[in-house]
Every structure is written in structure tokens, then in C-alpha cells.
Amino acid sequence: MNVTKNPWQTLNSAVRYENNWLTIRHEEVLTPAGTPGIYGVVSFKNKAVGVIPIDEAGNTYLVGQYRYPLDEYSWEIPEGGCPLGTDPLESAKRELKEETGLEATQWTKIARIHTSNSATDEEGFLYIAEGLVQGEHEPEDTEDLRVWKLPLADAVGMVMDSRITDALSVSGLLMVARLRGI
């Protein structure tokens, strides 16, 4: 089924909040049924990038940090923001180095995803990084990170039992599991 026409009609749009990372718009709309409604849209000023680093022994690296909006600790793949107009691969390379100290000689793009398309226009890109070389990590001053090296299959298991819940991490690890037959 190929549906390309937008059945929604925007009647009015106003920015209600904006900071360095996002904009929130309040929109008055006509729904696909033609009834009046409202929609809140979160627009990010960055794209999301995530990296599944895999070493020669089949290990991957997760990054742990406390996530303020969730009020809980989270294990995730190395990930971060890609400023609009910037190459997502270059941003993925930067995030991997910043968060883990790793650099990679081989990169494979595995996905373009939307993280929560019912409320945000955020677009994400996922990569596999191989040919890893360890260096010093360079976290941002807002990050208090822990790096954990573990078998890729164990990280996939953490997705399956909901110990990993971050959307980029879940998507990326499950895609790699499918690609690698894990």
C-alpha cells in the first residue's frame, strides 16, 4: 500500500518552548476524519546517531549513565547528537571516541530510524564499528559515563529482558543480532 498524501491539515502552529536542543510546537489541526484536534510536536536540533562497536572476539561496548528524564540508570550503545547539516557518520565516529575512547577502521550503516514518530520528528542513524583501536575517552562535561565491554550476545540478552530500553540501543542491537545470526 503506497500512501503518500498527508490526510492531516494544519490550521495553526505556534512554538511554545525552545532551547539549544529542541523546539516544541502546539498545532491546531484537522484530523484525517476531518474533526478538529491538537498536536504537540517535538523537533530536535540534532539527528541521533548510535554505534554498535564489535571487536574481533565478538564483544561490544555499552555506555552506562544516569538519564535525568527517566530518573534511572541506563545501559546503552554509544550514541549522541549529530548537528543538522553534519554528516551522521562523522558524528558517530566522534561519539564513539568521546564515550568509549574507541576508534574504528570499518564502518557500516545499518539503519535510519525515527525514535518516536507519534510525537517527534527525530531521525536516527545506526552504525556498526569494527577494526577497533582503544584510546582515551573524552566525555562531555555533562556526562558521567561507565563503559562496559561484554559479549555481543549478552548485550542482545539485555535487550530481550528489558535491561536495555533505549530506542536506538534496542533497534541497533536487535538489527546486529539478526545480521549476525545471534
Specify whether 95 is located in the same domain as 160: yes
Quick: pLDDT tens for 135-154.
887 766 776 889 999 999 99
The answer on 17 and 84 residing in a single domain is: no
CATH number for the domain that contains residue 52: 3.90.79.10
Q: Identify whether residues 145 and 88 lie together within a single domain.
A: yes
Extended beta strands in the chain, E state: 9-18, 22-30, 36-44, 46-53, 59-67, 72-76, 79-83, 102-114, 123-134, 146-151
Q: What is the pLDDT of residue 145?
A: 86
Domain span at residue 26? 9-44
pLDDT single digits (tens) 11-68: 999 999 999 999 999 999 999 999 999 999 999 999 999 999 999 999 999 999 999 9
In a domain, 157, yes or no: yes
Q: Do 24 and 60 reside in the same domain of the chain?
A: no
pLDDT band at 130 (very low <50, low <70, confident <90, very high): very high
The answer to whether residues 101 and 17 belong to one domain is no
pTM: 0.91
Same domain? 35 vs 93: no
Residue 2 pLDDT exceeds 90: no
Number of domains in the chain: 2
